[in-house]
Structure 1
Amino acid sequence: MVEGGGSKADETEFTECWKTTWRTPYLVKLALSAGIGGLLFGYDTGNHCDYSCGGCYIWSWIWRVDKWQMIILRRIFVGLGIGMASMTVPLYISEASPARIRGGLVSTNGLLITAGQFLGYVVNLAFTRTTGTWLWMLGVAGLPALVQFMLMLTLPEPPRWLYRQNKVEEAKAILKKIYSADEVNEEINTSRISVETEKADEQEIGDSMMPKLKGAFGNVVVRRGLYAGVTVHVAQQFLGINTVMYYSPMTVQFAGFASNKTAMTLSLVTSGLNAPGSVVSMFFVDRAGRRKMMLISMVGIIVCLVGLSAVFWQASLHAPKINPSESTKFVANATCPSYTSAANPASWNCMSCLKAECGFCADKANQHSPGACLAATTELKDACRAGNRTWFETFLTLTKAIGSAGTFLLFAGFCVTGFICIYAFVPETKGLPFEEVEKVLETGYRPKTLRRKSRGSPTSA
C-alpha cells in the first residue's frame, strides 16, 4: 500500500521554494504572470461585481450597462473568463514548476486570489461616496487585466505540452530556464515516457469522444484521481467561504455595526486575513504536505463555523424588538403585511421580520432599540436610509428556511463530511512528479486506520 510522499519530499524544506525561485527568476515570471488571473478573480469576488481577468474581462469592461440584456451578456463573458482562468492558471503553473516546489508556486495563485479579494474591498471603500462609484470599481479591474494580457503574449507553452507536440527542442529550451543542467535530461526522459504511455492509451481507446470518456472512466488511475479531485473541490465550495466573502459587510452589520462604511472597513479584516493564511500555506505545503494541510484547515473551519452559528443563535435571541408605532413615521401602509397579520406580533424581533421577507429599519438613536418592520420596497428602503437609519433585509434564501445560525451549522456539517472524504480518498502528493502521482493512484490509497488487517487485501477502485 502506498502512503504517498517519499524521501525526496521528506527532505524538502519550507524554504526550498524561495531558494529555487531566487535562483530562477524565470519561474517567478511564469507564476506571477499567470497568477494575475487569480488576482482579478479575487477582485471580482471582493468587488461583488462582474469584472476580472484576461481578454474576456477587458471586453466586458469596455461595454456599458444600459439594458438588462447587456448585463446578462456581460455575465456570460465574465463567466467564460473566470472559468478559463480558474482551470488554466493553476494548471499552467503546475506544469511549468519543478515537483519539489510545485505546491508553493501553485499556492501563489491562491495568494493572489485572496489579495484580489482584499483589493476589491479596499476599492469599494475608497469609492463609496464617489460619483460614478460602480464605474470606478469596475474600471480598476481593467488595468491589471490589460497587463496580464500583454504578459501572457510573451509566455511559452508548458514544456510537457511542447514535448507532446513533438517540439522537443523548444521544450528543452524552456526546461533549461527552469532546471539545472543535470536535471534537464532527466525531465525530458520523464516526459518522453509519460507522453508515450498516454499516446499508447489513446491509440487503444480511439479518437472519438465517447470511447475516450468510457476509456477514461475505465482507467483506475483516472477514476481514483477523479474521486480525489472532486472530493477536494466539492469540499472547498461547500465550506461556506463564498457566503462569508460575498456577504461579509451584511454579516458585520448584523453583528451590530450599522454604518455601511464601518461594515465595509471591518470586512477588510476578513478578506485581509485570507492573504496571510495563503502565505502560511505557501511556507508549509511542500514541507507538511497537501493532505495534512487540508485536514488541519478543515478542523479550523469547522470550529469557526460552529462558533459563527452560536453567535448568530444568540443574536436571534437578543435581536431588537418591533415597535409598531415606528412604521407610522413613514408612508401609509408601510408596515410589513406578515407582521400585521401575525397571530402574536408582540413576539417578533428583527430576525422574525427578515424571515418574513420584510425589511427592518433600525431605531435612529440606538440600533439595538425596537425598530420598524416595513414592507421590503425600494421606496421604504430609501426613506429609512434618508432618516440616517440602518436598513436590514434577508441576504440569503437559505437563511429564511433555517436561519443564519442554521445556515452556518449546515456549512459546518458539509465540512465534517468533507474532512471524512479527504481523509479516506485523498493521498499525499508532496514532492512527487506527475508520473509518481499516477503510481500512487494505480496502487491505491487507504489511510492506516481504514486498511484491512489481512495481508494482500484488495483496494477499492
Structure 2
Amino acid sequence: MSDGSIEMSTLHREGLAPILEDDARDDDALLGSENDLEEASKLVRGEPGIWVWLLVVSAGISGLLFGYDTAIISSALLQLANPPESSPIPALTVAEQSLVTSITSISALISSLCSGPISEYGRKKAILAAAIVFILGAVSQSVAGSVQGLIVGRFIVGLGVGAGSAVVPMYITELSPAHLRSRLNTLNTVFITLGQIVAYLIGYWYSHTPFGWRPMFLLGGVPAAIQIGLLFFLPESPRWLIQHGYVEQATSVLARIYGIKQEASNAADKRMLSHLVRSIERGVRSENELTSTSAKWRSLFGKRGNKRALLISGGLQGFQQLCGFNALMYFSSLIYAMLNFKNPTLTSLSVAATNFTFTLISLILIPKVGKRRLLLYSVPMMALGLLTAAYGFSHLPSHEITGASKTEPPNTTDPSSSFYAYVILFSTTFYVASYASGIGNVPWQQAEFFPMSVRSLGTAIATACNWSSNFIIGETFLGLMERMGAVTTFVLFAVICIIGWVGIYLGYPDTEGMNLEEIEALLSR
C-alpha cells in the first residue's frame, strides 16, 4: 500500500473522510500535498487544546453536583437519626431514612426522561436549567422544618441532578473528537467522584455541629452557582448548531476544538473541517426525517441498531446501580458506624478517595485497554470484593443494620481489635476500586451508541434506567440488611455482578476510536 493510501486510511479510521462520491471532485480540489494530509491526521489524533478541557470541566460541574448529592446524604443521615432535643425534625425512622435517600432517584428519573425534549432547545440551556433547579433544592433542604419539607427539598435536588446526568454526557460526546471521546467523558465521571470526596469532607467538618446537616445541604448549591457563571462562556454543541441551521457557528466551534485558525488554515485543515461538517449534516438529515416524537419512538424501537444501542446503554446503566455501589455511598457512614469505627464519616472518606483515584486511573486505561476489556476484567473483581465483605460480616457478632439510630450495636467489637471489621473495610475499598475502574465510568459514555436522530431520546431512557435502579437500591438496602442480614445482601450484589459480566461478555461491543457514524453502522449489523 502506498504512503498516500495509508494516510487516507488513517483519515477514514478517525472519521474525517466519510465522503460521498458526488463530493469527491470538490474534495480533490481542496487536497494539498501528502504532507498536508499527514499533518491533519496528526492533528486529529493529538491532545485536546486547553479550550476543550475548559469546556468539559465547566460542563462537568454537573457531575460534581451528582456526586455531592449521593455522598452528603450519608453524613446527614447520622445527624438526622440522632437530632438534638431542640430539633423541629424528630429522629428519622428506617422507612424515613430510606425515603429521604431514595426520593431524589424518583425525581431524577422523571427529569432524565424529560431531558430529551428539553435538550432539543439547546444542550447549554438544559444544563443551565438543571443548575438552577439544583440551587433551589439545596436551599429547600437546608431550611426544612419537617420531614415533609426535607423530602420536598430532596425531590427538587433530584430534578436537577437527573437532568444534568442525562444532558452533560451527551454534550461532551457531541463536543469531543472521536479518539478523545472516552477520555473526556471519563473526566465527567472524575467530577462525580470528586463531588463525593467534597461531600465527605464537608460532612466530617460539620459532623459535631448541631444541625450541621443544614450547611451540608446548602453548600451543594455553590458549585451550581459557579456553573451558571461559566455557562456564559460555553459554546453550544456543534451537532445541535448544525441541526438548527447554524452551520457557520458550528464550523467555528469545530475549528477551535481541533485548534485550527480559520483565517490562516491550509488545505488539509479546510478539508478536515469540511469532512466533519458533512458527517454531522448527514446525521442531521436523518434527524429531520423524524419530525414528531412518535416517529422518534418508532425509530428507536423499530431499527435493529437503535434497539441494540438502547439495550446496551440501558442495561449498563441499570447494572451500574443494581451492583450495589450507591448503597455503599448512601449508607457507608451507617455501615462503618455499625462496625464501631470511631469516625465513620472519615472512614467513608477513604472509600470515596479510592473511588476518585481509580476513576483517574481509568482515564488512562480506557484508551489503552478499551472499554469492553476493562469491564470484563474489573467486574469479577467487584464480585470478589463483595464476597469477601460477606465473609467478614459472617464472623461478626452483629451484622444487621436497622438504621442510623443504632450507631453502636452492643455486640460489635472495636475495630482496633477486630480483624473482620478491617476485612470489611478493605474488601469494600477493593470493590470500589474495581467499580471505579470500569462500570463506574463506561455507562456514562452511552450517547455514542445512538445516532443523532434518536440520541436525546435514547440517552434519556438509558439514564432513566440508572435512576430507577438507583431508587430500588436506596429504598430497599436498609430493609434488606434488617431482614436478610449483611451476608445475604452482599452475596446478592455479588451474584448480580456475575450476571452483569455475562451480559457484557455476550453483548457489549468494542467501539474505541470509532466515530459516531461508524458505531451506528456496527450496531446495525
User: Unaligned stretches of 5+ in structure 1?
Assistant: 1-5, 10-15, 320-349, 369-393, 444-461
Aligned to 1:307: 388
Match of 2:359 among 278, 286, 294: 278
Change in 2 beyond 3 A, CA 1:434/1:362: closer
Change in 2 beyond 3 A, CA 1:438/1:143: same
Aligned to 1:196: 282
Change in 2 beyond 3 A, CA 1:33/1:356: closer
- Given the alignment of the two structures, is residue 221 of structure 1 paired with residue 302 of structure 2, yes or no? no
Q: Look up the SS of the partner of 1:286 in the other structure.
A: helix
Aligned to 2:443: none
Structure 1: distance between partners of 2:44 and 2:203: 34
Q: Look up the SS of the partner of 2:166 in the other structure.
A: helix
Structure 2: distance between partners of 1:111 and 1:276: 9
- Given the alignment of the two structures, is residue 58 of structure 1 paired with residue 135 of structure 2, yes or no? yes
Aligned to 1:374: none
- Given the alignment of the two structures, is residue 232 of structure 1 paired with residue 309 of structure 2, yes or no? no
Match of 1:425 among 499, 504, 507: 507
Residue type of the partner of 1:313?
A: S
Q: Look up the SS of the partner of 1:427 in the other structure.
A: coil
Aligned length: 366
Change in 2 beyond 3 A, CA 1:27/1:45: same
Q: How does 1:266-345 map to 2 (within 5 A)?
A: 266-315=347-396, 319=397
Residue type of the partner of 2:134?
A: Y
- Given the alignment of the two structures, is residue 145 of structure 1 paired with residue 219 of structure 2, yes or no? no
Change in 2 beyond 3 A, CA 1:434/1:358: closer
Q: Which whole-Å deviations, capped at 9, do the CAs of 1:223-274 have from their partners, x for residues lacking one? A: 11112112211211111111111111222233342x3xx2211111111100
Q: Look up the SS of the partner of 1:71 in the other structure.
A: helix
Give the superposition deviation at 1:357.
Answer: 12
Contact 1:163/1:192 (<8 A) preserved: no
Q: How does 1:32-111 map to 2 (within 5 A)?
A: 32-48=57-73, 54-63=131-140, 64-111=143-190
Give the superposition deviation at 1:189.
Answer: 2.9
User: Unaligned stretches of 5+ in structure 2?
Assistant: 1-11, 16-42, 77-100, 109-129, 261-267, 416-475
- Given the alignment of the two structures, is residue 155 of structure 1 paired with residue 223 of structure 2, yes or no? no
Residue type of the partner of 1:192?
A: R
**Worse-matched range after superposition: 226-235 or 429-438:** 226-235
If each structure's helix is expressed as a fraction of its own residues, which one has the higher value? 2
Structure 1: distance between partners of 2:182 and 2:403: 47
Structure 1: distance between partners of 2:284 and 2:311: 20
Residue type of the partner of 1:32?
A: V
Give the superposition deviation at 1:140.
Answer: 1.9
Change in 2 beyond 3 A, CA 1:401/1:144: same
Structure 1: distance between partners of 2:403 and 2:181: 50
Contact 1:41/1:82 (<8 A) preserved: yes
Q: Which whole-Å deviations, capped at 9, do the CAs of 1:277-326 have from their partners, x for residues lacking one? A: 111110111121111112222121111011111111122xxx1xxxxxxx
Aligned to 1:20: 47
Q: Look up the SS of the partner of 1:146 in the other structure.
A: helix
Structure 1: distance between partners of 2:372 and 2:212: 43
Q: How large is the Cα RMSD of the aligned pairs?
A: 3.1
Give the superposition deviation at 1:412.
Answer: 0.7
Aligned to 2:258: 179
Change in 2 beyond 3 A, CA 1:159/1:202: closer
Contact 1:305/1:408 (<8 A) preserved: yes
Change in 2 beyond 3 A, CA 1:274/1:361: closer
Structure 2: distance between partners of 1:307 and 1:106: 31
Contact 2:239/2:280 (<8 A) preserved: no
Contact 1:175/1:184 (<8 A) preserved: no
Contact 2:336/2:348 (<8 A) preserved: yes
Give % identity: 29
Q: How does 1:426-441 map to 2 (within 5 A)?
A: 426-441=508-523
Change in 2 beyond 3 A, CA 1:103/1:121: same
Structure 2: distance between partners of 1:130 and 1:360: 17
Structure 2: distance between partners of 1:32 and 1:197: 27
Residue type of the partner of 2:301?
A: F
Change in 2 beyond 3 A, CA 1:127/1:282: same
Which structure: larger Rg?
A: 1
Structure 1: distance between partners of 2:480 and 2:503: 25
Contact 1:17/1:104 (<8 A) preserved: no
Match of 1:243 among 324, 327, 332: 327
Contact 2:402/2:478 (<8 A) preserved: no
Contact 2:45/2:179 (<8 A) preserved: no
Q: Look up the SS of the partner of 1:247 in the other structure.
A: helix
Residue type of the partner of 2:515?
A: P
Contact 2:337/2:408 (<8 A) preserved: no
TM-score for the superposition, normalised by structure 1: 0.72
Change in 2 beyond 3 A, CA 1:409/1:38: same
Contact 1:17/1:105 (<8 A) preserved: no
Change in 2 beyond 3 A, CA 1:223/1:412: same
Aligned to 1:389: none
Contact 2:131/2:227 (<8 A) preserved: yes
Change in 2 beyond 3 A, CA 1:111/1:355: closer
Q: Look up the SS of the partner of 1:144 in the other structure.
A: helix
Residue type of the partner of 2:382?
A: I
Give the superposition deviation at 1:17.
Answer: 11
Determine which structure has greater relative contact order: mean sequence separation of CA pairs < 8 Å that are 6+ residues apart, divided by chain length.
2
Give the superposition deviation at 1:62.
Answer: 3.1
Give the superposition deviation at 1:178.
Answer: 0.7
Structure 1: distance between partners of 2:278 and 2:65: 36
TM-score for the superposition, normalised by structure 2: 0.64
Q: Look up the SS of the partner of 2:323 in the other structure.
A: coil
Aligned to 2:496: 414
Residue type of the partner of 1:303?
A: L
- Given the alignment of the two structures, is residue 399 of structure 1 paired with residue 481 of structure 2, yes or no? yes
Structure 2: distance between partners of 1:269 and 1:194: 44
Change in 2 beyond 3 A, CA 1:18/1:273: farther
Structure 1: distance between partners of 2:517 and 2:404: 55
